[in-house]
Amino acid sequence: MTYYRRLPPFDYLAPKSIGEVSFLLEQHKDDARFLAGGTLVLHQMKERVNVRSCVIGLKGVAGLDIITFGKSTGVTIGSMARLQDVADSEEVKKKCPLLATVCGMLGTPQIRNRGTLGGNVAMRFSTSETLPALIALRAQAKLMAEGGERTVLVEDLYKEMKGGNLLMDVHISALPPGAGVGFEKFAVRERFDYATVAAAVVVQMDGKTCRDITIGLGGVTLPSMRPKAAEDIMKGMMVTREVIQKVAETAAEVGHTTPDVMFSAEYKKKVLRVVVERAVKKATAT
Amino acid sequence: MSRESLIGKSLPRIDSVDKALGRAKYAADMVLPGMLFAKVVRSPYPHANILSVDTTEAEKLPGVKAVVTGIKDTPRGAVFGIIPHTRDHILLPYEKVRYVGEEVAAVAAVDEDTAEEAVDLIKVDYEPLPFVLTAEEAVKEGAPLVHEHRPGNLAARYLVDEGNIEEALKNSDVVWEKTFTCDVASHALPEPFTAIASYEPSGKFNLWMQTQCPFQTRQGLSNTLKVAPSDIRFHSLPMGGAHGGRSDTPPGAFIACLLSRKAGRPVQVKMTREEVEDCMRDKASKLWTIKVGFKRDGTITGRDIRMLLECGAYASSAIVELWVPLLIDEVLWRAPNYRYYADLIYTNKTISSMMRTRAHVGPMSMDVCFDQMSKELGIDPIELRLKNAVLLNEVVPSKSVVTSTGLSESIVMAAEKAGWKEKKGNMGPNRGIGIGSGNMQSMFYMGFRSGSTSFIKFNDDGSCTVFTGNCDLGQGNQTMFTQIASEEIGIDMKDIKLCYGDTELCYQDPGNYSMSATVVSGNAVKKAAQDAKRRLLEMAADILDVSWEEVEMRGKEFFVKRRIGKGRGVKIGEVCRTAFKRGKPIFGFGDYRARVDYSDFGIDIKEPYNEKTYGQKVTAYSFGTTAVEVHVDPETGKVTVERIVAVNDCGTVLNPLLVRGNMHGQINFMLGHGLTEKNVWDPRTGKKLTSTFRTYKVPTANETPMIEEYFLGIPDPDGPYGAKEGSLGFGCGLHGAISNAIYDATGVWAYEVPITPDKMLNLLEEKNRTK
Amino acid sequence: MKHDIKLKVNGDVYALQVESRRTLLEVLREQLGLTGTKEMCNKGDCGGCTVLLDGRAVLSCMMLAVEADGKEILTIEGLAGKEYQLHPLQKAFVDHGAIQCGYCTPGFIMSAKALLDRNMDPTPDEIKRAISNNICRCTGYVQIVEAIEAAAKEMRGAK
């Protein structure tokens, strides 16, 4: 058994355009992997996990890091936009505060300065704060795949995104005015650890009644990150303490937790209920 | 001497500037000319026979300069262990491996890339054996034996039996009994383990590596390499933290030496973070069952303690953990009848050793006991503690005498400063306050190393160099020694250079072991400085033609008191040069032998304390109490410590700036070990799963509570200027304080460490179920 | 695969040839001899390898050297003025006892520099947030936060 310090040998390639990326993928196929912010790829390769002989660095690809806004269409964030840039963007803060908040709280300053939104989303770790938030925002992801570009919901990425696909951008439609948002994360070290469990909630209210609600769960298996059964409990209902409790209980039932090094699946399920309840309360308080 | 005293002054550390500039060269930064880079082949099995090791392919790889295996290169009969009874560690084994990550072979190559490639070419044939991962499993009938010659996996046993505990408990009005547990905790040290060995043709080894005690580590290497100690030189260098985790002779150093000798070039063995966590040292888990007898009036009649301590695959210095909890417990609370029965148990896990938060379960158990018993007996908890607190000059079960203590004062002060009386029961839902007391030793018996010798040489310009065998792990020893020398001699700190921790240049010293730096090494420096001062005064007196008692020194000048304004003075440079001319160069020599009983320490599997082993076990004891405010989230179980009031009985505070910082470090460790740091092993493979800073949850700045520190300043008769160990003792009660605070907040008792959120939630749910 | 790159480190431009797999940390420490930036965990967990890249705090162990081509890098060695004149942060760390073993110190100082370059009047909470990635085992963080506050005060005063 060996404990490695050094990275294994590989070739670093730096395409300048999507076309060049496409070409390299065709050439190297399974021998290549993408390098976005580096926080995952280098970590894994140092541990000899997912080693490839070719690494395609995306930082030089034109246009991948741009953040654009449409008055009615919402915000589109290029996959190579750094998390800290998303958090600092005045427009994102104004038009999509939930995303700005989550990008600004994920990890640490160093991670946010290099980590990209696209890289973070493409990792598909439900313990990363961005995924639950993007799911709650019903965000869409544009993929470059074989045969061209396609758009899928972020919540479906786990089944729609295949190896070799490139995540190009994430699009969040403009929220109607008065939408309420809430986010709650549980971790042993709040400003350092990934979420043990988390919940992101976006609601649209008609007075005290909930017109629409979307929930994104963190720290659960990918297919169970969107607890529609829990959403259905609150849609069209007057929001009371009991309703919120039921939403949280249902979310904890359908959100599938798995054990990790520190906590059992049962404990995580209990805390999942708590974070959903707290996030819904925050969202409906606005 | 009435120039402004340095004692009690907050002075920055003398080594801080270099570290702030990034100039300080740690072992992990050093590159020697021609240095080779090593990589170690490690066992993937927790327990296995080594059948064969094939290095032929690795040796052929271009760039590989030396390969060593236990089978070919380990001298037979060379075993490491800090006491003869537990000499059980072959540093590069040739027959068996006993934990995942144990060393089997190693390669030295021209760069690390090549070494990593070479190590993958070494083929080892193992025969996996059944393994055992917990002390409770290891003591069961039929459990796999980690060491064949140790039935029941018992490495060693410590037994103290004073008075008649059975009678005492029978005749008590109340007997309180509980079991406490603490998990294996890790040091998680910043600087990766690095050992650079450079072998000379003369047969001498040079070492640059992190060690708390160069002379001890050298002795272990001498025994295992079968080379005279003086043929091994440890060089002095700054170190990236130790906290107990660098107190042994580690295999990495042994391997670096073997490779260097074979290759004829310097060799660096450097470990990754995960490698250090799996293969260096941890702190043993403990199962602590305690019975305490009380009279109605609150007096303790006796204590009966049974401890199961797990040391991992080899006894290492965890053996010391057998008796340290006793040394701590016996000087905190009186016990006319006392039984302490402690077993050290082998398991197939990472080796355990010293840890600055050692033995906290002991103080924790008594602090919980007092709070629980205060209810049952109807006596105020503070009063109950004060009633049983060991007092000054009391003789304790080992027949040690406590020669300075501020325990009672620290309890009263912590409670007062924290507003404990007003806040207890009144802090609102889910908030609570608790207190806990602790203790730590300055210098326990260490054979002929129970003392330190310091030497000072004066240069012709009036500056001097102080030699001390102790090293600096970052606590501030360099500054302390320089401060003491400056205080005694009277010259500025900047005119005093320090040569420390070099085994060739310095006299031997116990090192940072048994917290001896202040009382032992500090006293030796003080004596040497006093000696040097006397010689300076005598030489100046000779020059000025008076007797030395008439000479005064200020700044760099010596003058005659009764001739002020009338006669000439002489500067220190001239005194030193004259001294040379007269064949009497100025030096200072100081030896300090610790006031401990040079008797057998009593590690004997058969006999409890008796006439052979009674005696002063420790020179000075430090005490302290912490009051802790916690918030418990009732839905997630997360325990957050929000405020700590710490009262430190560390004698005279030589340098408050430094001691304050050291206290914060102790609090940080105690909080981590108490609330968030949990180690997990895979029961199927025996591999540790918590080997990174991400999986092993050490606290960050965001987990730091508000801390207020107070010092009692009660001088110790032995310590230099009355100072004694400054940053461990006060904090050892923190886990008891947390447990008591949790009860105040929630009505639930926690008897285990760490109290992670899931454990706390379980306890809360259990309480709600039984309501 | 080898790459020819130019790194501007502490004001000096270095023309280097690096393998694809070399991290920025390795190049700084081993090719440029700048060992002030420390290797602690090598996995991005501890902040010990923090440097400023175009003014932002980044983990040099989690960055390929080739991706730093053309960038401006500031390491701990680049903070002090001529003749070791300490930067206010360095001075404050020394004066406030914030350095014990000192191994984590460069990482903390660079994280703090990144903070103070943007916000010279941070609250204690903002300071703690800025040093979230930096692990220390010796100091318990209290004197580190005090030092950063003091440095910020001095830098505000000097302005």
Q: A1 falls in which pLDDT band (50, 70, 90)?
A: confident
Min mean pLDDT across A71-75, B148-152, B510-514 is at A71-75
Partnered with residue B560 across adjacent β-strands are: B551
Over residues B738-760, mean pLDDT: 97
pLDDT tens for B519-530 read 999 999 999 999
Q: Residue B419: how many CB atoms within 10 A of its CB? A: 15
pLDDT for res B322 = 87
Helix C88-95 × helix C105-118 angle, to 10°? 130
Contact A198, A101 (CB under 8 A): no
> How close, in Å, is residue B698 to chain A by CA atoms?
9
Classify B384 in phi/psi space as left (phi over 0), alpha (psi -120 to 50) or beta: alpha
What's the token pair of residue B619? 């020179």
Residue A280 lies in a domain: yes
User: Nearest-CA residue of chain C relative to B707?
Assistant: C142
Based on the fold, state whether residues A72 and A48 are members of the same structural domain: no
pLDDT tens for A99-148 read 999 999 999 999 999 999 999 999 999 999 999 999 999 999 999 987 78
- How deeply is B202 buried, as exposed, middle or buried, from its count of CB atoms within 10 A (0-12, 13-18, 19+)? exposed
What is the C-alpha separation between B668 and B640, in angstroms, rounded?
A: 13
Is the previous residue joined to B754 through a cis bond, with omega within 30 degrees of 0? yes
Rounded to the nearest 10°, the torsion over CA B661, B663, B665, B669 is: -170
Domain termination residue (choose one: A144, A172, A200)? A172
Nearest to B437 by CA among B42, B135, B729: B729
Partnered with residue B345 across adjacent β-strands are: B154, B310
Contact B742, B679 (CB under 8 A): no
Residue A262 pLDDT more than 80?
yes
CA distances from B188 to B179, B269, B693 (A): 28, 18, 8
Interface size B-C, in CB pairs within 8 Å, comes to 180
pLDDT tens for B631-675 read 999 999 999 999 999 999 999 999 999 999 999 999 999 999 999
Over residues B287-308, mean pLDDT: 97
pLDDT for res B1 = 43
Q: Which residues of C10-48 are buried (b: 16+ CB within 10 A; e: fewer)?
A: beeeeebebbbbbbbbbbbbeebebbbbbbbbbbbbbbb
pTM: 0.97
Contacts of C62 in chain A (CB under 8 A): 38-39, 42-43, 114
Based on the fold, state whether residues A105 and A141 are members of the same structural domain: yes
Residue A284 pLDDT more than 90?
yes
Q: In this structure, which amino acid lies at residue B274? A: E
> How close, in Å, is residue A191 to chain B by CA atoms?
7
Based on the fold, state whether residues A146 and A52 are members of the same structural domain: no
Query: Do residue C64 and residue A46 have CB atoms under 8 angstroms apart?
Result: no
| N-term to C-term CA, chain C | 47
Nearest to A161 by CA among A119, A203, A199: A119
Nearest to A203 by CA among A102, A271, A281, A274: A281
User: Nearest-CA residue of chain C relative to A189?
Assistant: C132
SS (H, E, C) C59-127: EHHHCEHHHHCCCEEECHHHCCCHHHCCCHHHHHHHHCCCCCCCCCHHHHHHHHHHHHHHCCCCCHHHH
Based on the fold, state whether residues A184 and A216 are members of the same structural domain: yes
Based on the fold, state whether residues A102 and A126 are members of the same structural domain: yes
Based on the fold, state whether residues A91 and A139 are members of the same structural domain: yes
How high does pLDDT run on average in chain A? Answer: 94
Contact B497, B455 (CB under 8 A): no
Query: Do residue B668 and residue C76 have CB atoms under 8 angstroms apart?
Result: no
Residue A6 lies in a domain: no
Query: Do residue B21 and residue C143 have CB atoms under 8 angstroms apart?
Result: no
Q: Find the CATH number of the domain harbouring A252.
A: 3.30.390.50
Residue window 126-185, chain A: list those with CB within 8 Å of chain B: none
CA distances from C56 to A82, B326, C111 (A): 12, 52, 9
Contacts of B689 in chain A (CB under 8 A): 261
pLDDT per residue of chain C (159 residues) written in tens, 0 to 9: 999 999 999 999 999 999 999 999 999 999 999 999 999 999 999 999 999 999 999 999 999 999 999 999 999 999 999 999 999 999 999 999 999 999 999 999 999 999 999 999 999 999 999 999 999 999 999 999 999 999 999 999 987
What is the C-alpha separation between B531 and B590, in angstroms, rounded?
A: 7
Nearest to B510 by CA among B529, B528, B523, B527: B523
Query: Do residue C19 and residue A8 have CB atoms under 8 angstroms apart?
Result: no
Q: Find the CATH number of the domain harbouring A109.
A: 3.30.465.10
pLDDT for res B566 = 87
Based on the fold, state whether residues A75 and A47 are members of the same structural domain: no
Based on the fold, state whether residues A167 and A187 are members of the same structural domain: no
Query: Do residue A191 and residue B700 have CB atoms under 8 angstroms apart?
Result: yes
Contact B543, B572 (CB under 8 A): no
> How close, in Å, is residue A79 to chain C by CA atoms?
17
pLDDT for res B600 = 60
Inform me whether the C-beta atom of residue B107 falls under 8 Å from chain A C-beta atoms.
no
Nearest to B701 by CA among B667, B746, B728: B667
Inform me whether the C-beta atom of residue C121 falls under 8 Å from chain A C-beta atoms.
no
What's the token pair of residue B105? 């072979």
Residue B573 pLDDT more than 80?
yes
What is the C-alpha separation between A105 and A90, in angstroms, rounded?
A: 16
What's the token pair of residue B403? 């020669």
DSSP state of B195: E
Contact A131, A218 (CB under 8 A): yes
Domain termination residue (choose one: A120, A151, A172)? A172
Residue A140 lies in a domain: yes
Over residues B307-322, mean pLDDT: 90
Inform me whether the C-beta atom of residue C62 falls under 8 Å from chain A C-beta atoms.
yes
Residue A4 lies in a domain: no
- Pairing verdict, β B337-346 and B300-312: parallel
Above pLDDT 90, what percent of chain B?
A: 89
Nearest to B80 by CA among B241, B237, B255: B255
Of B274, B697, B699, the CB nearest to A3: B274
Q: B449 falls in which pLDDT band (50, 70, 90)?
A: confident
pLDDT for res B721 = 98
Residue A1 lies in a domain: no
Which structural domain range is residue A24 located in?
Answer: 11-57
pLDDT tens for B179-213 read 999 999 999 999 999 999 999 999 999 999 999 99
Based on the fold, state whether residues A127 and A152 are members of the same structural domain: yes
Over residues B138-164, mean pLDDT: 95
Based on the fold, state whether residues A217 and A273 are members of the same structural domain: yes
What's the token pair of residue B123? 């083929």
Classify B336 in phi/psi space as left (phi over 0), alpha (psi -120 to 50) or beta: alpha
Contacts of C35 in chain B (CB under 8 A): 22, 25, 29
- How deeply is B596 buried, as exposed, middle or buried, from its count of CB atoms within 10 A (0-12, 13-18, 19+)? buried
Based on the fold, state whether residues A84 and A49 are members of the same structural domain: no
Q: Which residues of B290-322 are buried (b: 16+ CB within 10 A; e: fewer)?
A: bbbbbeeebebbbbbbebbbbbbbbbbbbbbbb
pLDDT for res B604 = 53
Inform me whether the C-beta atom of residue A1 falls under 8 Å from chain B C-beta atoms.
yes
Of A11, A14, A110, the CB nearest to C58: A110
Contacts of B118 in chain A (CB under 8 A): none
Residue A3 lies in a domain: no
Based on the fold, state whether residues A149 and A122 are members of the same structural domain: yes
Over residues B590-611, mean pLDDT: 75
Contacts of A191 in chain B (CB under 8 A): 700, 702
Domain termination residue (choose one: A133, A152, A172)? A172
Contact B653, B474 (CB under 8 A): no
CA distances from B535 to B465, B525, B585 (A): 15, 15, 9
- Pairing verdict, β A180-186 and A197-206: antiparallel
> What does residue B570 show for φ and ψ, rounded to 5 degrees?
-140, 135
pLDDT tens for B482-523 read 999 999 999 999 999 999 999 999 999 999 988 899 999 999
> How close, in Å, is residue C26 to chain B by CA atoms?
11
- How deeply is B271 buried, as exposed, middle or buried, from its count of CB atoms within 10 A (0-12, 13-18, 19+)? buried
| N-term to C-term CA, chain A | 55
What's the token pair of residue A31? 């021998």
What is the C-alpha separation between A16 and A6, in angstroms, rounded?
A: 28
Min mean pLDDT across A223-232, B509-518, B599-608 is at B599-608
Q: In this structure, which amino acid lies at residue B304? A: D
What is the C-alpha separation between B627 and B642, in angstroms, rounded?
A: 11
DSSP state of B727: S
Of B41, B272, B758, the CB nearest to A5: B272
Q: What is the ipTM of this complex?
A: 0.98
Contacts of B693 in chain C (CB under 8 A): 41, 43, 45-46, 135
Contacts of A189 in chain B (CB under 8 A): 676, 697, 699-700, 702-703
Interface size A-C, in CB pairs within 8 Å, comes to 84
Residue B699 pLDDT more than 50?
yes
User: Nearest-CA residue of chain A relative to C43?
Assistant: A43
Residue A222 lies in a domain: yes
Q: Residue A218: how many CB atoms within 10 A of its CB? A: 31
Residue A219 lies in a domain: yes
| Counted domains in chain A | 3
Q: Find the CATH number of the domain harbouring A19.
A: 3.30.43.10
Helix A265-285 × helix A241-254 angle, to 10°? 140
Domains in chain C and their CATH numbers? Answer: 2-78 (3.10.20.30), 82-158 (1.10.150.120)
What is the C-alpha separation between B560 and B576, in angstroms, rounded?
A: 18
Q: B215 falls in which pLDDT band (50, 70, 90)?
A: very high
Classify A50 in phi/psi space as left (phi over 0), alpha (psi -120 to 50) or beta: left
User: Nearest-CA residue of chain B relative to C125?
Assistant: B702
pLDDT tens for B385-421 read 999 999 999 999 999 999 999 999 999 999 999 999 9
Give the dihedral sign, CA B313/B314/B320/B323: positive
What is the C-alpha separation between B268 and B259, in angstroms, rounded?
A: 9
Residue B599 pLDDT more than 80?
no
Over residues B259-279, mean pLDDT: 97
Q: Residue A238: how many CB atoms within 10 A of its CB? A: 11
> What does residue A232 show for φ and ψ, rounded to 5 degrees?
-60, -30
Query: Which H or E run contains A218?
Result: strand A209-218
User: Nearest-CA residue of chain B relative to C34?
Assistant: B22
Alpha helices in B214-350, H assignment, sequence order: 214-225, 251-263, 273-279, 320-332
Nearest to B234 by CA among B525, B509, B478: B509
Interface size A-B, in CB pairs within 8 Å, comes to 74
How high does pLDDT run on average in chain B? Answer: 95
Contact B760, B674 (CB under 8 A): no
Residue B423 pLDDT more than 90?
yes
Over residues B719-744, mean pLDDT: 96
